[in-house]
Structure 1
Amino acid sequence: MVLLTLAALLGTHLFGGVSAQTWCNKNYMANQSIVPPGGNFPIPTYSHSPLLALRCGPAIKPYLAEDVHSPAAILIDALVVNYEITGAAPISLPSRGLSQAGSIDVTVSLDGKTLARGDVPLNTTAFELPFSLEGLTPQMTPYNLTCSATYSGTSDAKSQSFSTTASLSYIPNPTNSSVTKMDLRTGALLAKPATGLGGEYAPVFPMGFYTTFDGYLSTNLSIVNELKEQGFTVIHPVPTFDNMTAFEEVLDRMQEVGMYLMYDMRFTYMNLTSVTEQVNSIKNRPNLLLWYTADEPDGTSDPLNATSNAYDLIYSLDGYHPVSLVLNCQVCR
């Protein structure tokens, strides 16, 4: 019954809220006029005075309960910029120049208690401050961190203060699910082998095969074996998945040969009932690597909050696999 319901939801192309084929203010079809898509990222205002863009976040997302005795770290960005990006604040630097401007004293705290502290050189990124997970309780709701910094350019200069916030995901061990961790130091995805037979977390190089399911993958299971032999590590089936029996067989074969799944909800991600059905049906598969929601939503004028609505829902239902999408307009500029 679950498969029949899911098949019905997947078989419907839901484009609610789509107003036009806008495609980044360019001509998409010869007979269509240019339509501004809206939602453009603003170009930051230039600042003639230096600004400190203080950022912080966990080195790994998520940390698991089983990581309690493993090294953990908070990453600190202390970039000095000349653009008024979000959160950047004025900083008074000594006249001798940025290269000799020294460091900021950073404290990372949770509910008023210090988790980590250290000196972070100015104009660096991903500077690691180690901390311990001991004393924290694993929970599905992210912890809210406060990262505070002080800076004195010279011994007699007045101290300057800066602050930002971040989320720390420290969650219970899964009972019946795979986990994909994001290593935010390198951008790598870390996962156990896709076979589900055990093994250590290791970086996954997502050499993906991106193709339709209906009419191709659904027609011949040996295609999965051929893709594995050719060196692919991930299969990204494009919906719809009308034949759910064949879909389950393909996913089983992928797991058998050790290929990861990138699960695509491009046609249904704005239908939150459908998203709930799909996530609950797929989330426990050992070879699930990550979710894929919107495919170039800026090109089809999807509502600007549609992707974040799907993102928040998926993390509330799963939390063990990252959520991805592809944009069209901003990368074309």
Structure 2
Amino acid sequence: MASPWSWALLLLLCGTAASVDTWCGKAYRASDPAIDPGGRMAPPNLSPALLLDLRVRPRVQPYLEEDETGIIIIDAPLSYIRGQPYDNILVNQQSSANLKSSSNLSEPPPLTFDVYRSDTGRLITSDVKVAVNSTGTVVGFSMVTFPPSFSPYNISIASSGDGKYMASTQFLRLPDRTDGGSVTKIDSLHGALLVNTTESSWKNSVWKPLFPYSFYLNGNWLIENPNNMATFKNYGYNVLHIVPAGGLGYNFTQLDQWLDEAQRVGLWIMYDMRWTYQNSSLVEWQVNRLKVRQSLLLWYTADEPDGQVDPLDAPKRAYDLIKSLDPYHPISLCLNCENYYFEEYAAGADIILSDVYPIGTNSSWSTTYETACNITYGCCGCDNCVGYNNLSNVPARLDTFREYQTQLGLPQKPLWGAPQAFGNSEFWKQTPTWQEEIVMNMLSINHGAKGIIMWIFPTTPELTNWTSKLAQRLTDSLASFMLVAEMVSGLTVTGAPTVDASAWIHGDWMLLSIVNPSHENAVGPVAL
């Protein structure tokens, strides 16, 4: 994360072979000419014929020995981007414009699928009905023929009879842990983290959704007062993410004391390896040292690797190594650039954070380097952002990352927000007000963020006060509701066009979030 005290170091770390300093692949010093950074996701070529984009994925990763039943999710959306030709006459009679809205489609008959174990061809279940142009069809199956293993299993689906439409996926059913360490699952239906609430035994355990809400934390603050760990927890934050100082990053004797105290007060650990993730020996040493901690939630490897122009395969190499050592926890990283080698960098994580800092920065002119900022040149502290203090840049980036995954045909990885909670330095000439901070938080959530880790703590007393108030709600039953409910984002709002609204629906209950991202007051009635 580009902080007031680390930005200068970050600038020294990034550069091209020709010794031109770059950020997101762009030259940014007035002495250097613009270069095309490349790495941009281009708009996909559209198919002239309608396609069925059939996909299958495990609902939960990883499953454990204790799980007697597994669930797969089948998605069958219609697309002009990718998939297999779909020739149902009821659909093809519609116009191309109407096909882009599922509400305008004539309803074709459902498809029927069989589910197989790929390596043996053994039938797992049959006669699975899936509506055309639908997502999220859940199918349960017995785990009895899948013994616990550290190797993934492959399963496939094929349309019954003709096998015309096919898709496959992998899932893990790991042995239960016997070393006292924790397990964090990802629910791919809703993007939630699932944590175990039973400390004494894995058997008959209770898995509950967790909404991570916290800050990146400057460890010096913990040194100032031995009670600061409990103070941090009492503010309502539920994750401890200490930012390593540099080099190896930690005094490990001190770190052990902090992590012991974090477990005592009830904080989950998000362990940061930003300075060492490209050193396989150090990664292995750290993972083996910490993976048995009961409060470990997830790993964090690369911090803005796209901005710093790290080797494209570096995050994935670290990911593969960590998974070989610890398949029980997810891996996260934070991407800073709007459109720079997304596919390559995102391959190194189960969870992608997005840090967009729009407050107090001029997105078109760098006051630090006295240069213009555009898609091929300059560094303004908010890559390819629009406007000044424009809070809508925050959700727009999450939407963009989600769209990239759709275009690439990838299962949607959970996205988290990393809102700005600092200022008055470098590119950022002011700190967010408490209203701006809460809006950035809620806009992220409205656009599907399943966790919030703000940069950086300590922050101002005002932001501490108001994020603490929000933390009390987002880490309790309210968050649990959002993490198990069907989300409806991008609701149409009339009467106040800048207002952003989303809803979560579960059974007979609905939660509605309405946010005004404009600095102008929205006065008068609105309709959803």
Distance in structure 2 (CA, Å) of the matches to 1:222 and 1:28: 43
Distance in structure 2 (CA, Å) of the matches to 1:235 and 1:35: 39
User: Secondary structure of the residue that 1:115 maps to in structure 2?
Assistant: strand
**Over aligned residues, Cα RMSD in angstroms?**
2.6
Question: Is residue 273 from structure 1 mapped to residue 281 from structure 2 by the alignment?
Answer: yes
Q: One-letter code of the match for 1:183? A: D
Aligned pair partner of 1:166 in 156, 169, 181: 169
**What's the counterpart of residue 47 of structure 2?**
47
Do the aligned residues in 2 keep the contact of 1:180 with 1:289 (CA within 8 Å)?
yes
User: Secondary structure of the residue that 1:108 maps to in structure 2?
Assistant: strand
Relative to structure 1, the CA distance from residue 279 to residue 231 in structure 2 (aligned partners, 3 Å threshold; closer, same or farther) is same
Question: Is residue 184 from structure 1 mapped to residue 179 from structure 2 by the alignment?
Answer: no
The correspondence of residues 28-67 of structure 1 with structure 2, limited to 5 A, is 28=28, 33-67=33-67
**Structure 1 position 21, deviation (Å):** 5.0
Alignment: residue pair count: 306
**What's the counterpart of residue 282 of structure 1?**
290
Question: Is residue 263 from structure 1 mapped to residue 271 from structure 2 by the alignment?
Answer: yes
Question: Is residue 200 from structure 1 mapped to residue 219 from structure 2 by the alignment?
Answer: no
User: Secondary structure of the residue that 1:263 maps to in structure 2?
Assistant: strand
Do the aligned residues in 2 keep the contact of 1:17 with 1:303 (CA within 8 Å)?
no
**Structure 1 position 266, deviation (Å):** 1.2
Relative to structure 1, the CA distance from residue 287 to residue 38 in structure 2 (aligned partners, 3 Å threshold; closer, same or farther) is farther
Question: Is residue 144 from structure 1 mapped to residue 154 from structure 2 by the alignment?
Answer: yes
Distance in structure 2 (CA, Å) of the matches to 1:115 and 1:160: 16
**Structure 1 position 45, deviation (Å):** 0.8
**What's the counterpart of residue 308 of structure 2?**
300
Q: One-letter code of the match for 1:324? A: S
**Cα deviation 1:189-238 (Å, max 9, x = unaligned):** 01124x9567632111101221222x233443322111111100111111
User: Secondary structure of the residue that 2:215 maps to in structure 1?
Assistant: strand
Do the aligned residues in 1 keep the contact of 2:65 with 2:173 (CA within 8 Å)?
yes
Q: One-letter code of the match for 2:172? A: S
**What's the counterpart of residue 156 of structure 1?**
none
**Cα deviation 1:158-178 (Å, max 9, x = unaligned):** x67122221111110011210
Q: One-letter code of the match for 2:188? A: L
**TM-score normalised to structure 2 length:** 0.54
The correspondence of residues 96-175 of structure 1 with structure 2, limited to 5 A, is 98-110=105-117, 111-117=120-126, 118-149=128-159, 161-175=164-178
Do the aligned residues in 1 keep the contact of 2:59 with 2:73 (CA within 8 Å)?
yes
**Structure 1 position 30, deviation (Å):** 5.1
Distance in structure 2 (CA, Å) of the matches to 1:216 and 1:277: 26
Relative to structure 1, the CA distance from residue 32 to residue 237 in structure 2 (aligned partners, 3 Å threshold; closer, same or farther) is farther
Percent identity between the two aligned chains = 39
**What's the counterpart of residue 4 of structure 1?**
none
Question: Which structure ranks higher in relative contact order (CA pairs < 8 Å, sequence separation ≥ 6)?
Answer: 1
Distance in structure 2 (CA, Å) of the matches to 1:236 and 1:169: 27
What are the ranges of 5 or more consecutive residues in structure 2 without an aligned counterpart?
Answer: 1-11, 95-104, 340-396, 401-528
Distance in structure 2 (CA, Å) of the matches to 1:47 and 1:300: 36
Do the aligned residues in 2 keep the contact of 1:50 with 1:82 (CA within 8 Å)?
yes
Deviates more, 1:181-190 or 1:160-169: 160-169
Q: Which has the higher strand share?
A: 1
Distance in structure 1 (CA, Å) of the matches to 2:50 and 2:116: 26
Distance in structure 2 (CA, Å) of the matches to 1:127 and 1:234: 32
User: Secondary structure of the residue that 2:47 maps to in structure 1?
Assistant: strand
**Structure 1 position 29, deviation (Å):** 5.0
Do the aligned residues in 2 keep the contact of 1:102 with 1:121 (CA within 8 Å)?
yes
**Structure 1 position 34, deviation (Å):** 4.2
Distance in structure 2 (CA, Å) of the matches to 1:173 and 1:17: 45
**TM-score normalised to structure 1 length:** 0.84
**Cα deviation 1:256-310 (Å, max 9, x = unaligned):** 0110011111111111111111110111111110111111211111111111111
**Structure 1 position 78, deviation (Å):** 0.5
What are the ranges of 5 or more consecutive residues in structure 1 without an aligned counterpart?
Answer: 1-13, 152-158
Relative to structure 1, the CA distance from residue 239 to residue 21 in structure 2 (aligned partners, 3 Å threshold; closer, same or farther) is farther
